[in-house]
Chain A
Amino acid sequence: MTNSIAEIEQSECMLVVGSNTTEAHPVLALRMKKAMRGGAKLLVVDPRKTWLAERADVHLQIKPGTDIPLMNAIANVIISEDLHNKQYVESLTEGFDEMKLAAAEWPVERAAATCEVDAGDIRKAARLYAAYKHAGIYYTLGITEHVCGVDNVRSLSNLALITGHLGYEATGVNPLRGQNNVQGCNDMGNNPVYLPGYQEVADGAAREKFSAAWGQQVSEIPGRRLDQMLDGLHDESIKAFFVMGEDPIVSEPNVEHVHVGFKKLELLISQDIFLNETAKIYADVVFPATCFAEKEGTFTNSERRVQRVRKAVDAPGEARTDLQIIFDLAKELGHDWGKAQPSKVWDEFARLSPNFSGINYARIEESGIQWPCPDVSHPGTKFLHEGAPIRGKGRLYPLDHIKPWEEADDDYPLTLSTGRTLYHYNAATQTLRNEGHREKQPKSFVEISAEDARELNIADKEEIVVQSRRGSIVSWAKVSEKVRKGVIWMPMHYAEASVNILTGDGKDLKVGTPEYKLCAVRLHKP
């Protein structure tokens, strides 16, 4: 997030795109609710009628996968009606003319037809977003999990830059992180092209710094992204897979294909708190690890705040902390790193990563600090891009519509989208083990519009088969006003109705993020 969570209360206008915030980030949504209570305008872009969408000033219930035409059209309205911030654009951005030309390819009426929304609503949304000073954008995986995920994000940053809506309270571009330490996991360099602290593997000086600190030469060969690792299973260029706290055969798309790859592996090591599905079938070695309540360390939240995690109870049996396991394995591999002390590990990271150097355990004992925080006298950073974009000039991108990997057709006439509910979490290894949450939402369901249900002669709560070109699963119909005609929606939480049996091989063309948010399916009776 470029902004802080508490700032959301100061919003005058919020543009929420592809985020069912009240279910996926319920506590952050409370700040939005408060802003709404105070009169803030709410613009929601979502194929589903979410809690926020129902209460929005404008709900653009777009056809899935048409975000860029919509954002281009909004940019178009803002520019053609002279609502853009000319001074900001002139002095603090680059690429305006090209971007403007590309956006001009999407007049409101054309976008309205492609996105299947009302042209008047597009104009209204554009005018509201441009009109207010404190206008922030909030998005999640509804934006990123597409073949054009990166460009979708750019289409949003275009809007922020042409209006100058960046660099002060409640105003910026804010991805809401889906998991407790998504932010930190990236910050720490668990990325094939970034070393810790976003220092590039391609940067020789950065490699030298880490090589010197670790006493071992860091390879200059860029690593593989997760999707490329999975590809490597198939062509057998990947022989060993170390999987920490993940369950790829549940969480990766096109599961049947993933199975084929895993069968070819020579070695799978799994480190987890439960015996997950991947480990059950494929692991050669399983390390019993500890959950968050059993260890010391830090998580970094969506607003870049590094906060202390503390041990409340002992791990069960012989389970060891994740850090201890990695230190033990390092030793077994011939490298004695000494005692596994979280604070020392943090200090090593912070020393090598300038944007984090000012953060240490003593400073975050009472409350967390938001990076960038370059030295110990720095208070941390509430919002980014103050005064000007960090890179000097904000880059505007010329963008065009990119069609999804798979669109509905005569054989598979419905578009399936997937996501999280309020009561469960991802593969639900934790929440389905809670009686109350299991009872509240015990099994998979398929949200379907009344119109589609009628046409297909499907009754509410009826057992149905959902089939895609990859496979099929059994679930239960939930006739709902949340979804539009032609679109169905399923939660991703249920192993017995794993939606990733259905999802396809589409992935972002630039960074490989899977297109979980849509694939073509059909429904039939069992």
Chain B
Amino acid sequence: MPTNTLTINGEQVAVLQGESLLDACAKMGISLLTACHDNRLEAYGGCRTCLVDLDGAPRPVPACKTLTSAGMVVSTSGEQLETVRATIDEMLECIPAAALETWTDANRFIGYDPQQCIMCDRCVRYCDEIMQCNALEHVGQGVDAFIQPTQGDSFLDTSCELCGGCIGTCPTDALYSKQSLKVFNEQSDAVLSSTRTVCNYCGVGCVIDIESQGNNVIDIDAQTGVGPNDGHLCSKGRFAWQFINHPQRLTKPLVRNTESGELEETSWQNALSIAATKMLDIKQRHGADSLAFLASSRCTNEDVYALQKLARAIIGTNNVHSCAAT
């Protein structure tokens, strides 16, 4: 691929054609502040946070939206730039003054706080470019601007697929997870932690971060540039985690009372002993191939490896299968 060589802060750098000044700066280890930029979206140049000086240009240019060309001479600092940046910071902070009258949407997942919104339109563009749902729109101008479900309806009535990608791309807390807010306990001093793992729904294998407070899951999100999903999640992956801390979870082994026919709580030792005794008894009376094992394609590789090993190496049967065969 053809490359361009340009000069940034007095040093030369080679970049691929089609890369932006923001990419070029990143290559040199210069991290410019951005707000409206998301690598997964088309460059927008809306917030002007990433302005740089370009020789020959009448005024500073947004690095995200300026494509590199050979021989460019760029500077990322300077007195004039600092002045402009300070003004932009002020502007970003003063935007949410209006638009307090906002949607109160019945959906359980996506909330909006206009006070935090800097009108970078990342959510609107995400929904348009990536999801291609067009469920969000930018309404009004200047200090009166805000975002809302398209045509002001509830998200539940629009083409919104409740993926929460708008929350994922939001650079502030303007868009937030209602579920998380509900579960998060401000009073608690339980440890907050983040655990990188893999989603348990479909076979795409999205890499997720489970946010937890003590032993409670309080959110699931994903990071751009990580895993096969590149920070994207679907509605199930991002929001369907209430089952983890659900009160109906099994917490004790159960065995069926042969007289009453009911399942009753018991000790691990008793449950394991009954299971093993009956398995060995059936093996002895009817042979190893009278036992069958069904593994779950929801469990880990290690879990199901161990199960087929138990069937083959201890019971002595190849009767192991799973629903994975469809």
Of B200, B254, B282, B300, the residue contacting A285 (CB under 8 A) is B254
B234 touches A26 (CB 8 A): yes
B204 touches A179 (CB 8 A): no
For B324, what are the chain A residues with a Cβ–Cβ distance below 8 Å?
A: 179, 181-183, 185-186, 190
For B49, what are the chain A residues with a Cβ–Cβ distance below 8 Å?
A: none
C-alpha spacing A210/B316, complex, angstroms: 12
A308 touches B235 (CB 8 A): no
B162 touches A436 (CB 8 A): yes
Of B206, B301, B319, the residue contacting A181 (CB under 8 A) is B301
Residues A263-291 near B (CB distance < 8 A): 266-267, 269, 272-275, 279-280, 283-289, 291
- A 292-324 to B, binary, CB cutoff 8 A, 1 in contact else 0: 111101111111011111111110111111110
Decide yes or no whether B203 CB sits under 8 A from chain A.
yes
Whether A312 touches B195, Cβ cut-off 8 Å, given contacts A180-B297, A187-B301, is yes
Distance from B87 Cβ to chain A, minimum over Cβ atoms (Å): 35
Distance from A251 Cβ to chain B, minimum over Cβ atoms (Å): 7
For A463, what are the chain B residues with a Cβ–Cβ distance below 8 Å?
A: none
Of B163, B243, B285, the residue contacting A429 (CB under 8 A) is B243
A436 touches B299 (CB 8 A): no
Whether A226 touches B322, Cβ cut-off 8 Å, given contacts A219-B312, A313-B216, A326-B307, is yes
Decide yes or no whether A439 CB sits under 8 A from chain B.
yes
C-alpha spacing A330/B90, complex, angstroms: 66
Decide yes or no whether A46 CB sits under 8 A from chain B.
no
A425 touches B201 (CB 8 A): yes
B290 touches A6 (CB 8 A): no
Decide yes or no whether A144 CB sits under 8 A from chain B.
yes
Decide yes or no whether A27 CB sits under 8 A from chain B.
yes
Of A184, A185, A293, the most chain B CB neighbours within 10 A belong to A185
Distance from A5 Cβ to chain B, minimum over Cβ atoms (Å): 4
Distance from B112 Cβ to chain A, minimum over Cβ atoms (Å): 16
Distance from B176 Cβ to chain A, minimum over Cβ atoms (Å): 14
Residues B293-308 near A (CB distance < 8 A): 293-308
- A 184-221 to B, binary, CB cutoff 8 A, 1 in contact else 0: 11111111110110000100000000100011111101
Whether A182 touches B263, Cβ cut-off 8 Å, given contacts A301-B228, A434-B239, is no
Of B246, B251, B300, the residue contacting A298 (CB under 8 A) is B300
For A378, what are the chain B residues with a Cβ–Cβ distance below 8 Å?
A: none
Decide yes or no whether B98 CB sits under 8 A from chain A.
no
For B256, what are the chain A residues with a Cβ–Cβ distance below 8 Å?
A: 283-285
Decide yes or no whether B171 CB sits under 8 A from chain A.
no
Distance from B82 Cβ to chain A, minimum over Cβ atoms (Å): 37
Decide yes or no whether B309 CB sits under 8 A from chain A.
yes
B228 touches A240 (CB 8 A): no
Residues A322-366 near B (CB distance < 8 A): 322-323, 326-330, 332-335, 337, 340, 342, 345-346, 348-349
C-alpha spacing A423/B240, complex, angstroms: 9
Distance from A226 Cβ to chain B, minimum over Cβ atoms (Å): 4
B308 touches A189 (CB 8 A): yes
A352 nearest in chain B by CB position: B305
Whether A246 touches B296, Cβ cut-off 8 Å, given contacts A219-B312, A349-B301, is yes
Interface size on B, residues (CB 8 A): 112
Whether A27 touches B292, Cβ cut-off 8 Å, given contacts A288-B250, A436-B109, is no
Decide yes or no whether B108 CB sits under 8 A from chain A.
yes
For B206, what are the chain A residues with a Cβ–Cβ distance below 8 Å?
A: 27
- Interface residues of chain B: helix, strand, loop or mixed (majority): mixed
For A316, what are the chain B residues with a Cβ–Cβ distance below 8 Å?
A: 245, 249-251
Of B107, B229, B289, B299, the most chain A CB neighbours within 10 A belong to B299
A293 touches B319 (CB 8 A): no
Decide yes or no whether B57 CB sits under 8 A from chain A.
no
B303 touches A25 (CB 8 A): no
Of B278, B296, B313, the residue contacting A244 (CB under 8 A) is B296
For B132, what are the chain A residues with a Cβ–Cβ distance below 8 Å?
A: 33, 37
Of A190, A193, A239, A423, the residue contacting B286 (CB under 8 A) is A239
- B 168-208 to A, binary, CB cutoff 8 A, 1 in contact else 0: 00000000000100000000000001011111111111110
C-alpha spacing A300/B131, complex, angstroms: 25
Residues A40-55 near B (CB distance < 8 A): none
C-alpha spacing A180/B296, complex, angstroms: 10
For A232, what are the chain B residues with a Cβ–Cβ distance below 8 Å?
A: 292
Whether A433 touches B246, Cβ cut-off 8 Å, given contacts A188-B305, A269-B275, is yes
Decide yes or no whether A480 CB sits under 8 A from chain B.
no
A332 nearest in chain B by CB position: B276
A301 touches B205 (CB 8 A): yes
A242 touches B291 (CB 8 A): yes
Whether A181 touches B197, Cβ cut-off 8 Å, given contacts A191-B321, A284-B255, A307-B207, is no
B248 nearest in chain A by CB position: A274
For A124, what are the chain B residues with a Cβ–Cβ distance below 8 Å?
A: none
For B314, what are the chain A residues with a Cβ–Cβ distance below 8 Å?
A: 216, 330, 333-335
Whether A285 touches B197, Cβ cut-off 8 Å, given contacts A192-B320, A238-B292, A291-B243, is no
A244 touches B302 (CB 8 A): no
In the A-B complex, the 4 residue pairs with the closest CB atoms? A317-B251, A301-B205, A177-B203, A245-B296
Given A176-B202, A316-B249: 13 more A-B contacts, CB < 8 Å:
A30-B131, A180-B298, A192-B321, A219-B312, A240-B278, A242-B293, A244-B303, A269-B279, A292-B200, A319-B251, A326-B307, A329-B276, A434-B240
Q: List 27 A-B contacts (CB under 8 A).
A: A28-B204, A30-B232, A34-B130, A176-B203, A181-B299, A181-B324, A184-B300, A185-B301, A188-B308, A190-B320, A192-B321, A229-B294, A237-B289, A242-B279, A244-B303, A245-B296, A287-B271, A292-B200, A297-B301, A303-B205, A307-B227, A310-B195, A323-B303, A329-B275, A332-B276, A342-B300, A349-B301
